[in-house]
Chains A and B, each alone.
Chain A
Amino acid sequence: MFRYIKQLTSFVAMVAVLFAFSTEAMAKKSKTLKNTQKKGFVRCGVSQGLPGFSNADASGNWTGVDVDVCRAVAAATLGDANKVKFTPLSAKERFTALTSGEIDILSRNTTWTLSRDADIGLTFVGVNFYDGQGFMVRKDSGITSTSQFKDGISACTNIGTTTELNMRDFFTSRGISYEPVAFEKADEVVAAYDAGRCDTYTTDKSGLAAQRTKMTNPDDHIVLPETISKEPLGPVVRQGDAVWEDIVRWSLNVMIEAEEYGITSSNADSMKTSDNPAIKRLVGAEGELGAAFGLDNEWSLRIIKQVGNYGESYKRNIADTGILPDRGPNQLWTKGGILYVPPAR
């Protein structure tokens, strides 16, 4: 009998020691970066199909501004923007997939809020799209403003999003009774609203614009002018790997700053000889910016060359596809928008 107990205790001790070592090692170095380089691809969580943000075409190629963030990280860490493994996630699954380590970046039109940032083991690294919640209605309903909403209105939306909370705030503060019809997947929301189950469809305005293209007859629907909430959408990483967090944050920042300095995918190489030191730093011709992350000095050049700057990404994915041709707040601060990132130096 004793023999077994002794073996058991030593086994338990062994397991405990193993754990102690692994957590010790995690605190010191970017384990995520090391794992990513070992695997040879970036594991990225995206939506199940939102045109302009993350959408797969018939042959399985992912495009969108959210997708480009992951591609930028792949270009920076692995040298190839195509080395990304995309995992489509529902709103409900996304945070669990990230915290459990199934993905390393969540770039899925996710709103940055205090409770998400602080409470559930996540860290938001920046904003790649400034959005706000709006309402879509049928054109022939004659509704042109949310002030025409009446008691008994039914609103279709997704579960597990800030949308559900904003919707309640909006209707409750105006004293309007409403029927929330919340689906798990966006496609079903669109189908139900399109069938006439709901009088209005509410989500982020960019989402409304994108989903409108999926309706049987897109021209029959309008997005109302009011914006009822702030929805800063951005990429998210797991808490506890500060270096990885920095890599993702600055991959996004580099794209925005490159646009500010007029560096594009086509002129990036020639910018190496620019007179402006800020530009030279961004294309890796000066300074040692990559070293702080454990990356080489051309990491930012690769992002700009392979993915493009933020403006190129926006034009390719959102403007040229007719979703939101007007950049609105997602314009550089120098051009009247609110895109303003800390300097890369």
Chain B
Amino acid sequence: MNFKVKKIVPQLITLAIVFLIFGFFTFNAQVNMENRGIEFGYGFLTQESSFDVQFSLIEYDGSHSYARAYLVGLLNTLLVAFIGIIFSTIIGVIVGIARLSPNYLIERSAAFYVEFFRNIPLLLQIFFWYFAALRALPLPQDADSIFGVSYLTIKGFFVPRFVWENLDIFFYSIIAAIISIVVIKNYARKLQENQGKQLPVFSISAGLLIILPLLSFLIGGVSLDFEVPVIKQLSTTSFVYEGGLGIPPELIALTLALALYTATFIAECVRAGIQGISKGQKEAAASIGLTPNQVLKLVVMPQALRIIIPPTTNQYLNLTKNSSLAAAIAYPDLVLVFAGTALMQTGRAIEIVSITMFTYLSISLSISLIMNWYNKKIAIKEK
């Protein structure tokens, strides 16, 4: 009994102190705000924002509400995080494997890339890609076209826009292709387990992914047009492209910087993962007659992934949080639009910062939730 009390009391005191400190600051903030005539509340979210945003995935202008502006910023943040994660993973895996290459030149270049990019502060890299690379790009009127339809200029990357007809049928055809691939894959596995025969699953899948959507064009009534950007004169010396899709240079610079920076860390995770598999595994696999490709695919990678996934999840989280540096180069992410402009126009610092913090927390937790689920899926199934 006495022992139990001794164990519980310090914990209760700690808990009480934590609560008191929290209460103290909340109370303090309340008193201070009251003294300065500031009212706390989230009512401002429904007010008209009256400021425009450069780039938005949903329809938005100043006549919409602050809540809508929040959504615009959130989607822009998610966009950068999504593209950044994909590119950094691709670059990271390639560089990570390249670092283990027996070819001296490839191995050294990969090592140089990793050491160079991970040791320069990210903000500087963002500034470099934005200001140095931006100045190097041509003005719209001087830009050479890429395949006659795209233009990379100081004002952005202007590419053709797809104009779809019967887009839904096209989507159904892709879904149908994916379902048949899954079915065929299962069948192929059974075939191999029962009869030892191997089906060329990759070729069949690729064929299905091409043929089914192609059919939707030929007989499904799907059609695709391109709206090509056209140059427009604004004044004697300034031009811009109209029509098509304009990708702002801010988005390009930010994604580039984030992907190149984060890829170095992912490359190291991949290298660590592969090196973590003992040599005996590869030799054993080779000795039962697997080809080098099969060794990598069936023996090394499944085990290496278990080492790679957890630290890579960290890098994904870092990339997402680092995307908030966007504010420095005018990319309208959550921090610039909501914790920047909206905060300034409303003056609701505590409310807006708390919403923004909660949002980043939710994004990060969602990413780690997905990655943990994936990690569990590939973990050793103990029986």
Show the binding face of A for B, using Cβ within 8 Å. Answer: 1, 4, 8, 11-12, 15, 19, 23, 26, 91-92, 95-96, 99-101, 115-116, 119-122, 137-138, 140-143, 148-150, 152-154, 156, 159-161, 164-165, 167-169, 172, 178-185, 188, 191-192, 195-197, 199, 238-240
Contact = CB atoms under 8 A, between A and B. Distances in A.
Given A154-B240, A160-B345, A26 B249 contact: no
A188 B330 contact: yes
Given A121-B36, A240-B37, A165 B238 contact: no
B120 interface: no
A165 to B, nearest CB: 5
Nearest to A141: B235
Contact of B341 (A141, A181, A182, A195): A182
Contacts of B53: 180
Interface residues of B, number: 55
Given A91-B344, A179-B54, 9 more contacts: A23-B35, A95-B347, A148-B235, A167-B52, A172-B62, A178-B52, A182-B54, A183-B329, A197-B155
B20 A12 contact: yes
A197 B154 CA distance: 6
Interface stretch (B9-17, B87-95, B162-170, B266-274): B9-17
Contact of A26 (B28, B35, B38, B51): B35
B172 interface: no
B54 A159 contact: no
A84 B218 CA distance: 77
B296 interface: no
A148 B346 CA distance: 33
23 contacts: A4-B12, A11-B20, A92-B340, A96-B349, A115-B347, A119-B347, A141-B237, A141-B238, A142-B235, A148-B235, A152-B242, A159-B340, A159-B341, A160-B340, A160-B341, A160-B345, A164-B341, A164-B345, A169-B50, A180-B52, A181-B54, A188-B330, A197-B249
Contacts of A120: 38, 346-348
B134 interface: yes
Contact of B235 (A91, A156, A161, A199): A199
B286 interface: no
B237 A188 contact: no
Given A95-B347, A180-B52, A197-B249, A240 B36 contact: yes
Tell me what chain A mostly uses at the interface: helix, strand, loop, or mixed: mixed
Contacts of B237: 138, 140-142
B299 interface: no
Contacts of B250: 181
A15 B332 CA distance: 43
Nearest to A20: B31
A115 B50 CA distance: 13
A152 B232 contact: yes
